[in-house]
Structure 1
Amino acid sequence: MRHVTENNEHVNTARGNDSHEVLGASFRLTDPRQRALFLTSRPVNPVYHYAEALWYLGGLRNLDLIGHYASRRRADSRDGTTIEGSAYGARIFAARPDGAPSEFDRALELLKAEKDSKRAYLPVFEARDLDEIGHPDLPCLVGLQLLARDGYLHMIAYMRANDANRGMVCDVYSFTLIQEFAAAQLGLRLGSYTHHVGSMHVGVRDLERAGRVLEETAASPRAMPLFAAPVMPAHTTWKHIRTVLEHEELLRTNQVQYTPADIAGLDLPLYWRRVLLLFEAHRQVVNCPTEPVDRQLLEALEPGARWQFERRWPTRVATEEVR
């Protein structure tokens, strides 16, 4: 963000959104599990992070899930019920119309057969997207490349454009979680994550907030993050993903109310039970607007996610001083 705001090469005005821009920006995370932000100047929504990643993994394009956790996504829909361009998961994880395996399954089969392959590429941006002139819902993601090397699974993301202040935070979270899931399916350790962007930019309207983020990071050069990153179990399967999505829908539609004991009794690893705890906490935020979120539930969250949740919804944890 500092590079884009202080060394911008262009002022871009695409679709009326003024932004400071640099071309051909890249960075690498040596540990992609360190995907979460812990900045008071940049509160994030940990519920949305998992919701978006699961929306992708489910191969979904409907608005029901993603629109619930971010109403702004509804503006991306052409028909009021689905999203096409930015529904990356529908292009990566959904089975093809002819019944053939998904692009993801094909890539994994390739890596199982040719462990050093360079061809395990998951395309998202398509030639037909060039015809969509003027519509805001076009894929920013060009594609993801999986590379198995020396027992590790590395991922490279290719973006045509990325907002360093907004979309990049969510994109990196989702893509590295997908990478970690892919590594589990292949029985590999988690390797590095590389993020290439054609147009990296920060909106002019966001420069003030970007400045606050840079001030905080400059004033507090402590090691980040504050919390140990949760590790997705190596035995995570598609069944676990489907189970989490099923319970998420029940919570989102307020058909169930779960206590920590209820969730502890589910046939899921702790990692995924804690994700469901987040969705239950969000259910309480939405459906019990005058009541604080259950303290026992908050205490059962993964510590980093609890820190983020309490800063995203500070008024909902007013019964106890935010740590």
Structure 2
Amino acid sequence: MKVRASTLDDLLNEVFRRLIASGQETYPSKGKAFEVTGVVLELTNPRARMSRTEARAVIFSWLGEFLWYLAGNDDFSFIRYYIKDYKPDYKGATKVMAAYGPRLRAKNKDQLKWVVDLIKKKPDTRRAVIPIYQPKDTQANLPEVPCTCTLQFLLRGRRLELITHMRSNDAYVGLPGDIFAFTMIQEIIAMALNVEPGRYKHLVGSLHLYDADRRKAERYLAEGFQKKVAMPIMPLGDPFPQIETILRFERATRLGRHPRIPTDLPVYWQDLARLLSIFRAGKDDASAAMLRNMRKRMHSDAYIAYIEMRQQKAEKRETVPAVSAPELPFGVAPHA
């Protein structure tokens, strides 16, 4: 199966239709699923990485998971803060063995900076490959192993392409968040190289839709086509100092210290910091008025719809006190 689209929603729309129509029934350990093998997905505009559907507007979880990767972190408490349904490897686990962060940005080797340095030295290189799935993951009886095998970066025609190889991908739960995180990494590397991000290709050995998620996928399809809105353009130049600032801000926000938005950051990163503050405010049951004021401080309109959903939840809570229903676990689990 090959699917090419300009936005994440257009890509998912076609993927779900094909899996529902012609996916082969399989019965893996997590239950009945509909599978297509040897899949090639292409996103021609990597910045159009956000879903605009009501069922999938979970940018806060995706952003949190992306920053978990960038932090080189494998703490279970970190990701659980953003994804409350994230399952531990075993009862009482404080670390996630298959976490991508230490594989991308280990203390002794930052793979992202290594890719930048390699491509600067050898622009036509084919060796800019980050291995996520490693020999240690072949051990028997591991609770989870990475779904992602490799990330390969290719500078071609002054555009940086990224080819991601997945051994397995849950189309409803994992695929959207994976595309969000990996295209963000693609743009980070591109900006560090002073070039534009090119095509994003997502190669999947087993792309599947679990039967338990089939109705959710059908509801997504019933929403129809969405307005095409891309994320703003990341500032050109070395992004790593700004990334370290946003990671410090994220940690302080997650720990409830309520830091101020760093005004020395470009507005692109200020907006992402404010999204983190809005997520924290929502967890603290902030008023709709407070969320409305925070929304007004955003520089880009691209995120407004997501903030308004949080605001509407607060308004509903203020008018009809009730226990909130759990969020759909869409696009927030890295394991298939």
In which range does the TM-score fall when normalised by the shorter chain?
0.7 to 0.9
Quote the RMSD (CA, aligned, Å): 2.2
TM-score by length of 1: 0.87
SS of the counterpart of 2:305? helix
Is the 2:50–2:230 contact (alpha carbons within 8 Å) kept by the matching residues of 1? no
Is the 1:32–1:193 contact (alpha carbons within 8 Å) kept by the matching residues of 2? yes
In the alignment, the residues of structure 1 paired with residue 283 and residue 51 of structure 2 have an alpha-carbon distance, to the nearest angstrom, of 24
Code of the residue aligned with 1:18 in structure 2: it is K
Is the 1:88–1:124 contact (alpha carbons within 8 Å) kept by the matching residues of 2? yes
Further displaced range: 144-153 or 246-255:
246-255
SS of the counterpart of 2:223? helix
SS of the counterpart of 1:181? helix
Code of the residue aligned with 1:118 in structure 2: it is R
Q: Deviations over 1:171-206 (max 9, x none)?
A: 000000000001111111111100000000011011
Q: Deviations over 1:124-154 (max 9, x none)?
A: 101221214351x210000100000111100
**Aligned equivalent of 1:204:** 211
Q: Structure 1 residue 269 and structure 2 residue 266: aligned?
A: yes
* Change beyond 3 A, Cα 1:173–1:228: closer
SS of the counterpart of 2:233? coil
In the alignment, the residues of structure 1 paired with residue 235 and residue 135 of structure 2 have an alpha-carbon distance, to the nearest angstrom, of 37
SS of the counterpart of 2:37? strand
Further displaced range: 16-25 or 269-278:
16-25
**Aligned equivalent of 2:105:** 93
**Aligned equivalent of 2:256:** 254
**Aligned equivalent of 2:304:** 306
Code of the residue aligned with 2:17 in structure 1: it is R
Q: Following TM superposition, by how much is the alpha carbon of 1:314 offset from its aligned partner in structure 2, in angstroms?
A: 2.8
**Aligned equivalent of 1:106:** 114
**Aligned equivalent of 1:14:** 28
Gaps of 5+ in 2: 1-15, 319-336
Q: Following TM superposition, by how much is the alpha carbon of 1:211 offset from its aligned partner in structure 2, in angstroms?
A: 0.8
* Change beyond 3 A, Cα 1:313–1:77: farther
**Aligned equivalent of 1:295:** 292
Is the 1:142–1:159 contact (alpha carbons within 8 Å) kept by the matching residues of 2? yes
Q: 1:224-243 maps to which residues of 2 (within 5 A)?
A: 224-225=227-228, 227-243=229-245
Q: 1:124-163 maps to which residues of 2 (within 5 A)?
A: 124-133=132-141, 135=143, 137-163=144-170
**Aligned equivalent of 2:18:** 3
* Change beyond 3 A, Cα 1:314–1:79: same
* Change beyond 3 A, Cα 1:239–1:132: farther
TM-score by length of 2: 0.83
Q: Deviations over 1:113-132 (max 9, x none)?
A: 11111111000101221214
Q: Deviations over 1:32-60 (max 9, x none)?
A: 000000012x2322212211111111211
Q: Deviations over 1:204-230 (max 9, x none)?
A: 01111111112222xx4x6x42x3421
SS of the counterpart of 2:96? coil
Is the 1:156–1:196 contact (alpha carbons within 8 Å) kept by the matching residues of 2? yes
SS of the counterpart of 1:147? strand
In the alignment, the residues of structure 1 paired with residue 134 and residue 36 of structure 2 have an alpha-carbon distance, to the nearest angstrom, of 24
Is the 1:125–1:142 contact (alpha carbons within 8 Å) kept by the matching residues of 2? yes
Q: Following TM superposition, by how much is the alpha carbon of 1:275 offset from its aligned partner in structure 2, in angstroms?
A: 0.8
Q: Following TM superposition, by how much is the alpha carbon of 1:4 offset from its aligned partner in structure 2, in angstroms?
A: 1.1
**Aligned equivalent of 1:24:** 38
Code of the residue aligned with 1:105 in structure 2: it is K
